[in-house]
Structure 1
Amino acid sequence: MLSENSVVADLFAALVCCVVIFAFLLLWKETAKRGEDQFSCFAGHYSGSLISNAHYIVCHVLPCRIANTYHYTPGFRGATLAAITPGVNIIRMLLIGSGIWKDEGTVKSMSRYGDYRELLKGPLYYAITVTLACAVYWRNSPIGIAAICNLCAADGFADTVGRRFGRQKLPYNRNKSIAGSVAMATAGFLSSVGYMYYFSYFGYIQKSWGMVLGFLIVPLASALVESLPISTELDDNLTVTLTSIFISSLIF
């Protein structure tokens, strides 16, 4: 049995994460290349969210025993190794998004309009957020949960609801809808609370009603900032991430 603080345990966990995540990326890319336009539209909306959550789950919340050891050991080494996989994805997004690396499958699976430069926006922000959640906040901080859930879950859900039911626009921003903002706050809150219970089950954090209240405040603030005209100018993926981290840092 490997020690819970074993270097081998961390290296093995890092290898498993890399294999799982990049297998998922390859599958998603190949499916997008062979898929129809409808799938490509779906991929452009949700691939960043799905892949980021997959990164987060594999790196954080799967502490199941693999080869008689924990998924990652506590502390700096485990956090650093967990950040490697999404960190590599940052480099991929920069290379492909700048046109240095030609990868039609990745562009098709992670962009809405088939423009490789789109990867320098949402997909890049997703990868950076997951890397920070691993390296800085690791699995014992609700700040990482808030950042992931409000960007990688809430923002995509808000876009879907807003497009379908967003007939009533916000009076101060005609590009955003009331339905989309409500959906974003709701999805951010529910997903954050769900992750809180999951982390708590494995003993990483101590759940509390105060934390639940914090997870309500953060998505409300993120949805408010996302609804402002400035988010249209700067890219809401960036403003939502910064708002989530800032507000949750004050609360938690």
Structure 2
Amino acid sequence: MTLLSSQLLVFSALHRRAPPTLFPWTNPTTTHTAPSLCSPVQLGQPRLPRFVAAAVAEDLLYNAGATVGVLGGGYALVRAFDELTRRNILNQGLSRKLVHILSGLLFLISWPIFSNSPKARYFAAFVPLVNCLRLLVNGFSLTSDEGLIKSVTREGDPLELLRGPLYYVMILMLCALVFWRESPVGVVSLAMMCGGDGIADIIGRRYGHTKIPYNEKKSWAGSISMFGFGFLVSIGMLYYYSVLGHVQLDWESTVPRVAFISFVATMVESLPITKVVDDNISVPLVTMALAFFTFHY
């Protein structure tokens, strides 16, 4: 993509040197003549459109290939955990949560694979869109993918696909389209939803003997693990994107900001509101709002 980027820069520079004049009367110093068949401008015009068309086609082909690769990776991940569940190596609950954690984080890690084109985010968002359609088709029982149902539902009921899992992929799509890799907001939101909320359920079920006073379904172990793991994953992802040059951060102010966001997101996850608002909606939306104001103001 280095060659493609340099070619696009050259093309952009050529256009800056000779901008088209839509309204000739706005530039009285320019002498305008009627175009002719032998005009050098006319002879030279076909080169640039062909060049641009080739560059755009190359970019589209590259992003399409990246999309196929990420889709294939996500499909392989779900199938792998389905096989582990089928062989009784993992129970269904643990398999579901590991898919919850890994699929979102791998999607987030894959963003730099796409090109630097402004349209690249739409190719990336196509990945959760495909999964969204799969959830809708299986959730309404128009078809039945037993592997998908076992991997992402608690009780094996297809209708569960239309709740938490559907909200999950919609948040993935939203973060890719709205924030993309130039903003820490989407990165932290997905890190807290996938990493923090996901690990809270795993640790809480195994070691959550001491419950939180205001919510008997949540434990201190789960909440503490969500805060710690969510914070570490968020910092790790931000560092990953900063090393690649997509975001520039002042780490002295970034670390306490992320710690504050992780704390508030953990508090929201611990509230007894799951029957009203799913964690896959409340946690990322609160994180988005806090991250937007803490990083932009």
Shorter-chain TM-score category? 0.7 to 0.9
Q: 1:97 aligned to 115, 139, 145, which one?
A: 139
Say if 2:104 is the partner of 1:52: yes
TM-score, structure 2 normalization: 0.75
Instruction: Summarize the Cα distance change of 1:140–1:27 in structure 2 as closer, same or farther, 3 Å threshold.
Output: closer
The letter for the 1-side match of 2:191 is: C
Aligned ranges 1:1-252 → 2 under 5 Å: 2-4=3-5, 6-7=55-56, 8-26=58-76, 28-29=78-79, 32=82, 35-39=86-90, 40-58=92-110, 60-62=111-113, 71-75=114-118, 77-208=119-250, 209-252=252-295
Contact 2:121/2:176 (8 A) holds in 1: yes
Contact 2:70/2:107 (8 A) holds in 1: no
- Corresponding residue for residue 68 of structure 1: none
The letter for the 1-side match of 2:181 is: R
* Separation (CA, whole Å) in 2 of partners of 1:140 and 1:31: 32
The letter for the 1-side match of 2:280 is: N
* Separation (CA, whole Å) in 1 of partners of 2:162 and 2:101: 15
Contact 1:11/1:81 (8 A) holds in 2: no
Instruction: Summarize the Cα distance change of 1:134–1:9 in structure 2 as closer, same or farther, 3 Å threshold.
Output: same
Higher relative contact order (CA 8 A, sep 6+): 1
| Structure label with greater radius of gyration | 2
Instruction: Summarize the Cα distance change of 1:27–1:143 in structure 2 as closer, same or farther, 3 Å threshold.
Output: closer
* Separation (CA, whole Å) in 2 of partners of 1:22 and 1:45: 20
Contact 1:48/1:122 (8 A) holds in 2: no
- Considering only aligned residues, what root-mean-square deviation do their CA atoms show, in Å? 2.0
Structure 1 residues 80-130: Cα deviation after superposition (integer angstroms, max 9, x where no partner): 222111222112112212222321111112222212122222221221121
Q: How far has the Cα of 1:169 moved from its partner?
A: 0.7
Q: How many residues are aligned here?
A: 242
Structure 1 residues 149-196: Cα deviation after superposition (integer angstroms, max 9, x where no partner): 010111110011111111111111111111111111111110010011
* Separation (CA, whole Å) in 1 of partners of 2:210 and 2:268: 18
Structure 1 residues 50-89: Cα deviation after superposition (integer angstroms, max 9, x where no partner): 112222211x144xxxxxxxx31142x1222221112221
Contact 1:33/1:109 (8 A) holds in 2: no
Bigger shift: residues 110-119 or 213-222 = 110-119
Q: How far has the Cα of 1:15 moved from its partner?
A: 2.1
Identity %: 33
The list of structure 1 runs, each at least 4 consecutive aligned residues, that deviate by more than 4 angstroms after superposition, is none
**Unmatched tracts of structure 2, length 5 or more:** 9-54
